[in-house]
């Protein structure tokens, strides 16, 4: 039997400036390391390719950081290198994240020529005052221009990332942001609530009582009104925070939500393969040095017990509106989901938090708001 295809993530840890809420492994002012970094990424590809012999790459996702901070030719060259070293599935989805400030027509053209067929543009908000407050380097007109260029070049799978619950953001501003995204004609919208992460400037401001984020009530209203609006505009909510026109779901993220195997390359990248999980050094220099000394850049590595794999499959799968597929669960764990979680499923159904049909178990809309509470019922089995 052919082995399952997998996803490939490549991390680009460089940004023009650090946004005030961001705790991703991304750094500003490290441009002199960019060429060495790409060389290290190629070396890591060489190191890893023997572990996935016979498996096809179904999706590639360039994330960051800001992949599009690199010159278009360098990105094209890297994609060529990936193609030389891995087998691809037919219709492979190739996404790059893009900061509008770093895009121009020429770069988009090179990305298209190289085979990138999906763009994920960091828009975040539809008002320049909010973008400024977030510390973003781009304006809303940069976003509109980038989407238009991409469409003119024939990209027909464009996502914009949006955030709600921002400091000083009103419900009207959020609805206006969604309307702008819809009017731009993008095929996919990701809408995440702002999370205040420790170690960020926003975290400090929050603790000084100076951040002025909307109340939890208003934030929930933003979420639910947003869902209703996008539904009316023809976007199907297929995951808690993701909305797509029919057939335009993000295949790469579906790999994570279905708890399937993926390889992550680059500093701070995570991998999950054949029941083993590992993550690379976050620090760019440490990553480059380890790889160039022919050593691995892995900082942590662990085998995931099967009981944990089962829980993670439920935890991630319940993020999807369709929920966890009973058939896929049975195929993977050689037993019905009810064999492990029958009592929990029944209790949660009785509370109106979980639904079940012949094929799936899924969160109800009440369950989505109380997801963490729901997951407690699936722990310790």
Q: Where does this chain bind ligand SF4 (CB under 6 A)?
A: 15, 18-19, 22, 24, 26, 64-66, 99, 122
- C-alpha Rg value of the chain to the nearest Å: 21
CA–CA distance, 380 with 92 (Å, rounded to integer)? 37
Nearer to ligand SF4, 35 or 197 (CB): 197
CB of residue 308 to ligand SF4, shortest distance in Å? 29
Q: Which residues contact 316 (CB under 8 A, 6 or more apart)?
A: 256, 257, 258, 259
- The least distance separating ligand SF4 from the CB of residue 25, rounded to whole angstroms, comes to 9
Nearer to ligand SF4, 98 or 345 (CB): 98
Residue pair 322/362 in contact (Cβ under 8 Å)? The answer is yes
Nearest distance from C-beta of residue 66 to ligand SF4, angstroms: 5
Min dist CB 146 to ligand SF4, Å, is: 14
Conformation bin of residue 200: beta by default, left when phi > 0, alpha when psi is -120 to 50:
beta
Minimum Å distance from CB 119 to ligand SF4? 15
Beta carbon of residue 13, minimum distance to ligand SF4 (angstroms, whole number):
8
Residue whose CB is less far from ligand SF4, 16 or 43: 16
CB-wise, 38 or 48, nearer to ligand SF4? 38
Q: Cα(329)–Cα(333) distance, rounded to whole angstroms?
A: 6
Select 131 or 354, whichever has its Cβ closest to ligand SF4: 131
Distance, in Å, from the CA atom of 18 to the CA atom of 135, rounded to the nearest integer, reads 7
Query: In the bound complex, what is the minimum distance in angstroms from residue 296's beta carbon to ligand SF4?
Result: 25
Looking at the DSSP assignment, which residues form a beta bridge with residue 64? 12
Neighbours of 286 (CB within 10 A): 14
Q: Spell out where the chain has E strands.
A: 6-12, 14-15, 27-28, 56-64, 87-98, 118-124, 158-164, 188-193, 236-239, 242-244, 262-265, 270-273, 276-280, 298-303, 324-325, 354-356, 360-363
Q: Which whole-number Å values give the CA distances from 371 to 109, 227, 241, 366, 368, in the listed order? A: 42, 17, 13, 9, 5
Picking from 312, 297, 252, 216, the residue whose alpha carbon sits closest to that of residue 94 is: 252
**Least distance in angstroms from the C-beta of 112 to ligand SF4:** 22
CA distance 354 to 346: 9
CB of 289 to ligand SF4, least distance (A): 23
CB of 24 to ligand SF4, least distance (A): 5
The answer to whether residues 240 and 319 touch, using CB atoms and an 8 Å cutoff, is yes
Pick the closer one to ligand SF4 by CB: 18 or 330.
18
Query: In this complex, which beta carbon is closest to ligand SF4, that of residue 122 or of residue 266?
Result: 122
Tokens of residue 282, six digits:
């976050």
Nearer to ligand SF4, 7 or 67 (CB): 67
Of 99 and 157, which has the nearer Cβ to ligand SF4?
A: 99
Q: Are strands 6-12 and 118-124 parallel, antiparallel or unpaired?
A: unpaired
Cα–Cα distance, 19 to 122 (Å, whole number): 12
Pick 64 or 264: Cβ nearer ligand SF4: 64
Largest pairwise CA distance in the chain = 58
């Amino acid at each position: 039997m052919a082995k399952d295809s997998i996803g490939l993530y490549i991390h680009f840890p460089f940004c023009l400036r650090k946004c005030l809420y961001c705790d991703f492994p991304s750094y500003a002012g490290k441009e002199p390391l960019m060429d060495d970094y790409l060389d290290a990424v190629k070396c890591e590809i060489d190191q890893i390719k023997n572990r996935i012999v016979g498996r096809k790459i179904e999706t590639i996702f360039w994330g960051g950081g800001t992949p599009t901070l690199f010159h278009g030719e360098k990105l094209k060259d890297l994609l060529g290198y990936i193609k030389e070293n891995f087998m691809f599935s037919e219709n492979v989805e190739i996404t790059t994240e893009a900061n509008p400030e770093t895009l121009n027509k020429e770069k988009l053209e090179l990305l298209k020529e190289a085979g990138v067929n999906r763009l994920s543009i960091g828009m975040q908000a539809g008002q320049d005052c909010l973008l400024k407050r977030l510390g973003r380097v781009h304006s809303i007109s940069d976003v509109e221009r980038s989407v238009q260029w991409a469409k003119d070049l024939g990209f027909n799978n464009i996502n914009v990332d949006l955030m709600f619950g921002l400091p000083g953001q009103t419900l009207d501003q959020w609805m206006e942001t969604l309307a702008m995204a819809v009017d731009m004609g993008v095929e996919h919208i990701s809408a995440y609530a702002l999370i205040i992460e420790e170690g960020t400037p926003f975290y400090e401001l929050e603790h000084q009582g100076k951040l002025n984020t909307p109340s939890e009530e208003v934030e929930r209203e933003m979420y639910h009104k947003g869902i209703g609006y996008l539904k009316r505009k023809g976007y199907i909510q297929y995951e808690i925070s993701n909305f797509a026109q029919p057939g335009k779901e993000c295949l790469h993220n579906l790999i994570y939500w279905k708890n399937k195997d993926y390889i992550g390359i680059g500093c701070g990248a995570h991998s999950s393969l054949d029941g083993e999980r590992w993550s690379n050094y976050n620090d760019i220099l440490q990553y480059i040095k380890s790889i160039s000394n022919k050593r691995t850049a892995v900082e942590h590595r662990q085998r995931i017990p099967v009981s944990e794999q089962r829980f993670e499959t439920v935890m991630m799968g319940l993020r999807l509106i369709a929920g966890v597929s009973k058939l896929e669960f049975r195929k993977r764990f050689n037993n019905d989901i009810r064999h492990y979680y029958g009592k929990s499923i029944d209790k949660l159904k009785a509370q109106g938090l979980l639904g079940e049909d012949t094929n799936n178990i899924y969160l109800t809309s009440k369950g989505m708001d109380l997801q963490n509470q729901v997951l407690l019922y699936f722990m310790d089995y």
